[in-house]
Structure 1
Amino acid sequence: MRFDIISVLPDLLTSPFAHSILQRAQKKGIAEIVVHNLRDYATNKQKSVDDYPYGGGSGMIMSIPPFAACIEKLKSERDYDEVIFMSPDGETLNQTIANQLSIKKNIIILCGHYKGIDQRIRDIFVTREISIGDYVLSGGELPAAVVVDAVVRLIPGVLNDETSALSDSFQGELLDAPNYTRPADWQGHRVPDVLLSGHEAKINDWRHEEALKRTQERRPDLLK
């Protein structure tokens, strides 16, 4: 699976993709993550990629030509399943969306900045708009990293235990049950006896009941 991320601040994405699961996925050749500097596609001497908004108002707007040049170059090299724009007014990222994207092959992600991007970029090139929450960040780089992390960990072969992702919170519309590890007794706080019983069916039943209870308490909207 390949991600091409278009950003005006490519160095901001160096660290998130250079560690842990994402690093391992790239070393295994399971995922390829390529970050493109939008300024490389600017046509003026200043390498600027923004301009004043038509109609007046505060802030600067990212212009069409650099994005169009980069996207068209990438599309000339391979086919893409999605061109995603990270936007506060997009559909809110959830596990279902991550699952859907994990079976794609090639994805482009556009990172906005400043006041926003020219609407025509969204109209012409973008196939999906995704938000990571109802708040505004300085740019789309951190949200893009969140999307890539959420998706890549689902690709078979990335996690050492491929069943691990299937038991995460939100898989099956439930939050995860409580988890424990050694010691079994820490300062009088004991691990539930059922988890020490070795009885797989009882453990699974307990986990399901606890997942239902936690979901009901914290996210009842998921049970509707």
Structure 2
Amino acid sequence: MRFDVLTLFPGLFEGFLQQSLLKKAIDAQLIEVALWNFRDWTNDRHQSVDDTPYGGGPGMLIRCEPVFECVEAVQAECRQPGRLIMLTPQGRRLDQRLVEELSEEQRLLLLCGRYEGFDERISEGLQPLEVSIGDFICNGGEVPAMLMIESVMRLIPGVLGDESSAKLDSFSESGQLEYPQYTRPREFRGMSVPEILLSGNHQAIAEWRSAQSQARTKERRRDLFSGSDGEDHFSSSD
């Protein structure tokens, strides 16, 4: 899978791309990440990409010309056009369902905004999928883009050492939070590993984990059990 990151600050990704599973996936050619700078598509000696908003207001907006030209040039880099994503707090909330959808793509182009955001005509003309990582504001789209790369890459075959790991993550196939997990030592500062996990009874362990997952979700994220009618879907014994 290929990620094309379109940004004003490609240097922010240098350390990110050299760490952990992502670097291993890149080295194994399971993932490709290309970085592009909007400033390379400017025509003035100052390489200006922003300007003041019409009608007044604080801050600066990223102009149409460098973004359109950058996107068009990057799309032409490969025979396979990429799905264009704009990272913006006004977009669709990023959740595991969307991550799974995006992992089916062969190529993603990630538009990273800065300042007060993009000129509205960028959204109108390029028709990207607008995605938000949550109801809060970052300085730009670079960290949200990293988060998207991290979440999507986990679903690419071969990236994780154990393919079942992603299936057991919170929000994945069950739609619930992951059950609590433990490792050595068996006792630590008065806290013990639950006996069931030491029993060797795999069916009992699976049942315990399922019950723990449901209980944790009910306690911490009851909204995950809500259907479209807004009502909870716990059993009558809950």
Indicate the TM-score class for this superposition, using the shorter chain for normalisation: over 0.9
Following TM superposition, where does structure 1 have runs of at least 4 consecutive aligned residues deviating by more than 6 angstroms? Answer: none
- Please list, as runs of the form range in 1=range in 2, the aligned pairs for 1:1-224 lying within 5 A after superposition: 1-78=1-78, 79-171=80-172, 172-224=174-226
Distance 1:111 1:81 in 2: 15
Q: Matches of 1:159 and 1:89 in 2, distance apart? A: 32
Distance in 2 (alpha carbons) for counterparts of 1:39 and 1:127: 20
Q: Is the 8 A contact 1:85 1:126 kept in 2?
A: no
CA distance in 2, matches of 1:24, 1:126: 33
AA aligned to 1:5 is: V
SS at match of 2:16: coil
Instruction: State the AA in 1 paired with 2:115.
Output: Y
8 A contact 2:3–2:33 mirrored in 1: yes
| Structure 1 residue 81: Cα displacement | 4.1
Normalised to the residue count of structure 1, the TM-score between the two structures is: 0.97
User: Which has the bigger relative contact order, CA under 8 A and spacing at least 6?
Assistant: 1
Deviates more, 1:29-38 or 1:186-195: 186-195
What is the RMSD computed on CA atoms of the aligned residues? 1.0
CA distance in structure 2 between the aligned counterparts of 1:33 and 1:207, rounded to whole angstroms: 37
Q: Which moved more, 1:125-134 or 1:83-92?
A: 125-134
Deviations 1:84-107 (A, max 9, x none): 000011111111111111111011
Deviations 1:100-133 (A, max 9, x none): 1111101100000011101111112133111111
Output the amino acid matched with 2:127.
Answer: V
Structure 1, residues 50-109: CA drift from partner, whole Å, max 9, x if none? 011111111111001111111111222323341000001111111111111111101100
Aligned residue in 1 for 2:236:
none
Deviations 1:141-170 (A, max 9, x none): 000000000000111100011110110011
Aligned length: 224
For residues 90 and 120 of structure 2, the distance between their equivalents in structure 1, rounded to whole angstroms, comes to 13
2:196 maps to a residue whose letter is V
In the alignment, the residues of structure 2 paired with residue 154 and residue 10 of structure 1 have an alpha-carbon distance, to the nearest angstrom, of 25
Cα separation, 1, equivalents of 2:160 and 2:105: 18
Identity fraction in percent? 41
SS of the aligned residue for 2:34 comes to strand
For the residues of structure 1 that align with 2:57 and 2:189, how far apart are their CA atoms? 61
Are 2:196 and 2:205, in contact at CA under 8 Å, matched by a contact in 1?
Answer: yes
Paired residue type of 2:182: Y
**8 Å CA contact retained: 1:80, 1:108:** no
Contact 2:75–2:82 under 8 Å retained in 1? no
Distance in 1, Cα, partners of 2:48 & 2:180: 50
